[in-house]
Chains A and B, each alone.
Chain A
């Protein structure tokens, strides 16, 4: 089992020459599908790269587990009812020298897919076989004992999974029961229970039996309507992608999952049959390029929520915020840009759609709450106070002298309390919040000054905080329709006087074209953090990063059509041929 999973995991990171072969055997109505695109993966690496990697070595070690114990072992124990004949066939077992020689065709796409009924969820793994005999010889002894052969296929109904294969393919099925199904059909199911059987065992037995039935039913079946002809899935596979994830309908899937936990856990989801999240199809692709590794995720928003989402997210950040920090020096930043006024206006409708769907009986009540909300809230005024633009920038780490208490002892070892100083690193950051109500904010600070919560000098507001509460000073400036909060007094003064001189080109487009961006200059931060207390492995990871990595960006796009795209991108210095090779190198360096 462990071996199979390891092989499958490996395959999952890989993958389309004969792809179509298996795709015609996967029914079209799957809920989730992951495809490891072998052709694209093996454009990037060779099988030998895996064999020489720590993962490959681990797999090979497992495959060759019996090799050193007993070299004489039957190679192909196919049918257990004919042991005598098998003994005659005993041959010296060959050592597996490459993961490509374990019977599974690693150069063909591998698939994971999820299929559901109201009672059970089936997790299925499908891979191609190229050498059935080798595959069978590498099975565990205890599995071989359970092996059954019917016609041209063999199967093992294991305790936790069902395995079935023929000369060309292997399917692994793992079933998990729905809790709510059991509670809803208690009486009917009680009759199937064997005498004295515990509930847990009964559920496990049913899951096993149903997984077997499901496996026998779908294995090696050519579907006229398969995922090979599912245009949505086919479209979701992007060029050069190493792996593809496709979710038919995310909102429905989540609702189903919550419902399967049963009424007692999620009473809200038990009723109604709704796409609560407003998210429909989700696709994701993984890419390993020369200088970056990326995951690109597209979410399709349902048509009834599309309009609301568009109004909320399709806003560009005010340039005053984007131009208020040095893009070349920033160690990290996080930007959010949404339309507060529209968010408040759309909120009642969204709540109505989400919760009205969950609690259909209370649709009217929920509507009234929404209407009251609109009535009480002045969306425009709030939208002016907080526009919806926010930007948090980590500028630097500053050294700071910190006083602390310790002890000294006199010649009679009498203790004396003394104050010493040490250097500590505190972050220097700036938080910017878009606001068109400068007057109101200023008034607010003036009241603060009256009550001695802040001090105002040269247009800079200084917060009066106890040292123990915050390890740094905090300053604020209201200017250019932006509320600034920063730890740097100098920075605050420069903003107040308009004497900033920032390079503002580098991230301008990135921030303005996306509704959310999280950027981290990995090495920039690592260089600033003292490493004297790091452990050896942490230091190794640090060196690997400074030698190979560059920066990391997570962004969520504005809405295009009915799609919101997000991307996680790790940029490297391009030291290796491609980032998959770099990943293997990284695994080797940490596995040492």
Chain B
């Protein structure tokens, strides 16, 4: 039986669908600025489509990587993170049934997280990251800021129309936890929990791309 042929048919059904995926960033801080971070990419909602795609050689002109290639790539990323100074206890999971990837680690201070991002960036971007750090935690002022160094909307315009659809139904969620209560937040989309010790920002990728919403935030903690 021609497996590929059958999959071609299964693809017709899923081809026009956009994939849905969740991007979740969770960071818990200790009083001294150290903490732990978990990054989750969940593609479970598109698993039928992905299972079909995984059986193909290429799609939309892109080569479909094998499970081994993906596993190796993830291992490579984890290895690189492990090499970063100030980062410990790096763990990861990779679930090909549900298509969920997680990477977690402990860090001495947020600078280590910025270093991790720099390690995966080009020289040009490293310079930009230095000016526009993704994470800053000021112990004295008790402020935490989340930022980024690129214009997402602009980067997005560079991609092919066809590829942009992937992001149409994607979501971004960030949860930051602190030991001291949160006093205020600059991003009005973010919600502070009842205990005031956690803050969540849930956004549609579309809104981030079109610059309607931002993942940037400045959080002021109580003294």
List A residues at the B interface (Cβ < 8 Å).
392, 394, 397, 402, 404-407, 409, 411-413, 415, 422, 424-427, 429, 431, 433, 466-472, 485, 525, 529-531, 533-535, 538
Q: Interface centre among A411, A422, A427, A466, by most B CB within 10 Å? A: A427
Cβ B175 vs Cβ A426 within 8 A: no
Q: Interface centre among B47, B48, B51, B194, by most A CB within 10 Å? A: B48
Cβ B194 vs Cβ A411 within 8 A: yes
Using Cβ atoms and an 8 Å threshold, which residues of chain B touch A402?
Answer: 47-48
Please name the residue on chain B nearest to A400 by beta carbon: B48
A471's contact among B5, B52, B98, by CB below 8 Å, is which?
B52
Cβ B51 vs Cβ A422 within 8 A: no
Cβ A533 vs Cβ B10 within 8 A: no
Given contacts A471-B10, A471-B52, A533-B168, contact A404 B26 (CB under 8 A): no
A406's contact among B13, B42, B51, by CB below 8 Å, is which?
B42
Q: A469-B51, A529-B12 are in contact. List 18 more A-B contacts (CB 8 A).
A: A394-B9, A397-B13, A412-B197, A413-B193, A413-B199, A415-B26, A426-B10, A427-B10, A429-B9, A431-B2, A468-B96, A468-B97, A471-B51, A530-B17, A533-B18, A533-B168, A535-B161, A538-B16
List B residues at the A interface (Cβ < 8 Å).
1-2, 5-6, 9-10, 12-14, 16-18, 22, 24, 26, 42, 44-45, 47-48, 51-52, 96-98, 100, 161, 165, 168-169, 173, 175, 177, 193-195, 197-200
B195's contact among A412, A466, A529, by CB below 8 Å, is which?
A412
B42's contact among A407, A409, A413, by CB below 8 Å, is which?
A407
Bound-state Cα–Cα, A267 to B45, Å: 50
Minimum distance in angstroms from B103 CB to a CB of chain A: 15
A405's contact among B98, B169, B173, B197, by CB below 8 Å, is which?
B98
Interface of B is mostly: mixed
Bound-state Cα–Cα, A525 to B9, Å: 12
Please name the residue on chain A nearest to B96 by beta carbon: A468
Please name the residue on chain B nearest to A471 by beta carbon: B48
Cβ B9 vs Cβ A485 within 8 A: no
Given contacts A405-B100, A412-B193, A472-B10, contact A431 B1 (CB under 8 A): yes
Given contacts A402-B48, A404-B44, A413-B193, contact A431 B96 (CB under 8 A): no
What are the 9 A-B residue pairs with the smallest beta carbon separation, nearest first?
Answer: A471-B48, A405-B44, A413-B198, A404-B44, A468-B97, A427-B9, A404-B45, A425-B13, A413-B200
Using Cβ atoms and an 8 Å threshold, which residues of chain B touch A392?
Answer: 5, 9
Using Cβ atoms and an 8 Å threshold, which residues of chain A touch B98?
Answer: 404-405
Bound-state Cα–Cα, A392 to B8, Å: 12
Cβ B51 vs Cβ A470 within 8 A: yes
Bound-state Cα–Cα, A555 to B6, Å: 21
Cβ A415 vs Cβ B24 within 8 A: yes
Cβ A411 vs Cβ B193 within 8 A: yes
Bound-state Cα–Cα, A143 to B2, Å: 56
Bound-state Cα–Cα, A413 to B26, Å: 10
B16's contact among A404, A405, A427, A534, by CB below 8 Å, is which?
A534
Using Cβ atoms and an 8 Å threshold, which residues of chain A touch B177?
Answer: 413
Cβ A409 vs Cβ B200 within 8 A: yes
Using Cβ atoms and an 8 Å threshold, which residues of chain A touch B18?
Answer: 533
Cβ B6 vs Cβ A431 within 8 A: yes
Using Cβ atoms and an 8 Å threshold, which residues of chain B touch A467?
Answer: 97
Using Cβ atoms and an 8 Å threshold, which residues of chain A touch B194?
Answer: 411-412
Using Cβ atoms and an 8 Å threshold, which residues of chain B touch A529?
Answer: 12-13, 16
Bound-state Cα–Cα, A531 to B15, Å: 12
Please name the residue on chain B nearest to A534 by beta carbon: B16
Minimum distance in angstroms from A377 CB to a CB of chain B: 21
Using Cβ atoms and an 8 Å threshold, which residues of chain A touch B22?
Answer: 406-407
Using Cβ atoms and an 8 Å threshold, which residues of chain A touch B97?
Answer: 466-468
Interchain residue pairs with CB less than 8 A apart (21): A394-B9, A394-B12, A402-B47, A404-B44, A404-B98, A406-B22, A407-B42, A411-B194, A413-B199, A424-B13, A425-B13, A431-B2, A433-B1, A467-B97, A468-B97, A470-B51, A530-B16, A533-B18, A533-B165, A533-B169, A538-B16
Using Cβ atoms and an 8 Å threshold, which residues of chain A touch B175?
Answer: 409, 413, 415
